[in-house]
Amino acid sequence: MEKFFYPRSIVVIGVSVTRLNLGHIIVLNNRQKGYEGNIYGVGREEGNIAGAPVYDSVEKLPEVPDVAIIISPAHTVPAFMDDCGKKGIKRIVIESGGFSEYSNEQQTMEKTLLDIAERYGIRFIGPNCIGTINFDIKMMMPFGFFPATPFGGRVAMIVQSGGVGSSYLGEFGDNAIIPGKFAALGNKLQIDEVDVLDYLLKDEKTDIIAMYLEGFKRGRAFFDLAVHSGKPLIIQKSNRSNLTAKIAQSHTTALSADDTVVDGAFRQAAVIRAEDDIDFINAVKIIRLPLMKSRKVAVLSRSGGHAVMSVDACAKFGFSLVDFPPAFIENLKTIYNTRVIAHQNPLDLGEIFDYTIFTKILEEALKLPDVDGVLFNHLYIASYEGEMSRDFLSNVSRLVEQYQKPVAMTMVTDTQELLNISRNQTFPVFTTPLMAAKALHMSATYFEEKTARDARGRLVPTDIQVSEIETIKDICGAEKRIPLTDEALRIVAAAGIPCVTGFAVKSANEAEDLKIDFPVAVKLLSRDASHKSDVGGVQLNIRSREELTQSIREMEEQLKALIPLPTLDGFLIQKMAEDGVECFVGGRQDPVFGPIVMAGLGGIFLEIFKDTAIRLAPVTKSEAMDMLSKLMAYPLLLGARGKKKSDIDALVDVICRVSNLLAEKPDIAEIDLNPVIVHETGKGCSIVDSRVFFK
């Protein structure tokens, strides 16, 4: 990737020397901005653009450029790419559109590009992209003019859409964010976000990486990088619904991943997820400050009304407003006198007009050990207090650096003043208390998730009986069916998870001779009815042999009335498990991220409430515990309404072992354990039902 960001020479293929086409703009842009490397053009006519020589063929170039940018009609790209290969050019950016983002019929041409790249050992970005920018060396591949940008920026950006990337670069400028490197990848036919992310994570000149993506090409490889990242990753992931999936497919050939899987992966890897463009910019702004290390906040405000709004905003994001200690209150009285406003959190500063006092009060708040961050509402009249406000921001910046705590500044003033402050003051500012509180929330969440990620611990060791699983798989494959419930429970047991197995019988007559303890449950075994309760295939709390045989015969009669008639493979008789909280543990092989594990409230409520958590498998105990703690139903496990606490450790162990099974056996397409009955502490879990699907 180094040559894409630090090319010593570039050729732009598809330029015109007589008119301002896109290729002409790229050459002109680099000449005007001061790119110091050699830059050439290739077009139909020879000549020059702002002193850059233009040739009528790649072959005539006086050197082998580090990078070729192709921006010509799509049908001409393969031939130009072949010319580059013959010349010895190993890095290419294909900015031309008209490939699979335009029509699936163009996939044949994309295959041709991949074949040419493999033949010559070429690495390429695109097609349908705008390439890379390195602001430090004033190298700009996009076909657009960019305003002057200071060098030395420590924020890098990876985007799938050049249009979104360009607009975000504009917003960076409006918020005094200095970018360092930029890459717009388009269709990601060969080089994708994983390649660029890997490079930027190692780049000594990059501290923060912000990304806009519509889909992941290699989700698991991305996760493996993110989970070990020492740099904050801020990602706006669009294409989140079935409605946008088709649009994104036609735009950048993005594949829509299940958004709940993306959420789980981001949380597990401590990726900051931006919901929209406002979040995206605000996350970059706040994450440059010291992190919010817990959720204890002080609110200082020049307006009582804004103080009240700030309290509401803090409550929305789970912050607590600490009580100011008596010593702090007494200290305030030595700094300024108040006649009306109480000394409390939030602290109303409406009586104060001395900016030196603002600075002193802020410093005293930052000194408090129980305060982890400050939300400061600064309302002022620009014509009177503009210069003082700029000096105050400089003092805020100094105090933030000194005490290593974030201050979210809400600036309320006239529009032009706010725009000037945002563009020219490096300290980040926000326009509403809600926006400032959400920024602190993103900072606190990143700190929490990064701390949990870095202390995730080791995986639970499991000795999976692979031969047992393979035997069942072979039988099911030969009979062209899914595993029956008793077989699925044997697969679960092979992963080291104790199950309530029971006896499988073919008829009521076979059940008469079994030596069993009552009460029992009886369940239909049918390759055609995976949801047994939907067809009357489950009977619970059967207390006698007569009741058992009667229940089986009733099930047989009910099945005969079903259309189509399901196959009757038998009945499973299990001893009734003790009461407990019914949970669900399962997982599947995600097409983008690989094995994932899920847990949540189970039984009949699973599909009604959909209270589940998802992580990429395998998970550690701490990750499994985090899954459970984020469930709405978690209080049930803790013993709500006088109930005893459930055996959470046992449930965590089940989650870990299911995750290990999915990771070690990728031929298991999906597995459900529902319900997992979690008993009181020390009594473990009962696995009474399972479904398994092989690929």
Q: What is the pLDDT of residues 161-212, one digit of tens each?
A: 999 999 999 999 999 999 999 999 999 999 999 999 999 999 999 999 999 9
Same domain (yes/no): 608, 679: yes
Q: Are residues 69 and 178 in the same domain?
A: no
User: What's the confidence (pLDDT) of residue 609?
Assistant: 75
* pLDDT > 70? residue 138: yes
Q: What DSSP letter does each residue of 140-190 carry, written as one string?
A: E-SSS------S---EEEEES-HHHHHHHHHHHHHTT--EEEEEE-TT-SS
- Of 550, 575, 600, the position where a domain reaches its end is 575
d(CA 597, CA 618): 8
Give residue 250's pLDDT band: very low, low, confident or very high (50, 70, 90): very low
Residue 138: inside a domain: no
The gap from C-alpha 381 to its chain's centroid, in whole angstroms, comes to 41
682 CB neighbour count, 10 Å cutoff? 10
Q: How confident is the model at residue 341 (pLDDT cuts 50, 70, 90)?
A: low
The answer to whether residues 671 and 610 belong to one domain is: yes
Name the domain boundary from 94, 128, 162: 128
How many beta carbons lie within 10 A of that of residue 467, not counting itself? Answer: 8
> Measuring CA to CA, which residue among 604, 612, 609 is closest to residue 585?
612
pLDDT at 244: 57
Whether the link from the prior residue into 147 is cis, omega within 30° of 0, is: no
The tens digit of pLDDT for each residue in 294-310 reads 999 999 999 999 999 99
Q: Is residue 70 part of a domain?
A: yes
Q: What φ, ψ does residue 471 adopt, rounded to 5°?
A: -60, -45
Q: What is the CATH number of the domain that holds 154?
A: 3.40.50.261
Asked whether 526 and 486 are in contact (CB, 8 A), the reply is no
Q: What is the DSSP letter of 318?
A: T
> Which CATH number covers residue 633?
3.30.470.20
3-state secondary structure 323-388: CCCHHHHHHHHHHCCCCCCCCCCCEECCCCCCHHHHHHHHHHHHHCCCCCEEEEEEECCHHHHHHH
Among 84-93, 230-239, 256-265, 609-618, the minimum mean pLDDT is found in: 256-265
Q: For residues 315 and 297, what is the distance between their CA atoms, to the nearest angstrom? A: 11
Cα separations in angstroms, 136 against 11, 36, 151, 178, 181: 20, 11, 5, 11, 8
Residue 279 in any domain: the answer is: no
Mapped onto helix, strand or coil, the DSSP state of residue 264 is: helix
Same domain, 638 and 502: no
Domain boundary among 517, 544, 575: 575
Query: Residue 539 falls within a domain, yes or no?
Result: yes
Q: Are 566 and 682 in the same domain? A: no
Task: Give the mean pLDDT of 473-500.
Answer: 95
Residue 253, pLDDT above cutoff 50: no
Same domain flag for 112 and 180: no
Give the model confidence (pLDDT) of 307-336 as tens digits. 999 999 999 999 999 999 999 988 888 887
Q: What is the CATH number of the domain that holds 568?
A: 3.30.1490.20
> Is 280 a member of any domain?
no
d(CA 243, CA 672): 28
**Do residue 308 and residue 244 come from a single domain?**
no
User: Within this chain, do residues 42 and 186 fall inside the same structural domain, yes or no?
Assistant: no
For the stretch 147-158, pLDDT in tens is 777 889 999 999
Is residue 233 located within the same domain as residue 110? no
Tell me, yes or no, whether 485 and 611 share the same domain: no
User: What's the total number of domains in the chain?
Assistant: 5
pLDDT at position 643, please?
85
**Residue 58 is assigned to a structural domain of this protein:** yes
Q: What is the mean pLDDT of the chain?
A: 92
Structure tokens, 188: 């990601």
Residue 77: give its domain's CATH number.
Answer: 3.40.50.720
DSSP-assigned letter for residue 631 = S
**Domain containing residue 498:** 466-575
| Residue 427 falls in which region: left (phi positive, over 0), alpha (psi -120 to 50) or beta | beta
What are the structure tokens assigned to 284, written together?
């970059």
Which of 250 and 585 is assigned the larger pLDDT?
585
pLDDT digits (tens, 9 = 90+) for 507-523: 998 888 888 899 999 99
pLDDT, one tens digit per residue, over 443-463 is 999 999 999 999 999 999 989
Q: What is the pLDDT of residue 535?
A: 66
pLDDT at residue 247, as a whole number: 54
- Using a 10 angstrom Cβ sphere, with 0-12 exposed, 13-18 middle and 19 or more buried, the burial of residue 384 is exposed
Same domain, 440 and 485: no
Say yes or no: 600 and 649 in one domain: yes
**What tens digit of pLDDT does each residue of 405-454 get?**
999 999 999 999 999 999 999 999 999 999 999 999 999 999 999 999 99
Asked, for residue 89, whether it belongs to a domain, the answer is yes
pLDDT given at position 483: 95
Can you tell me the distance from the alpha carbon of 46 to that of 15, in angstroms, rounded to the nearest whole number?
Answer: 10
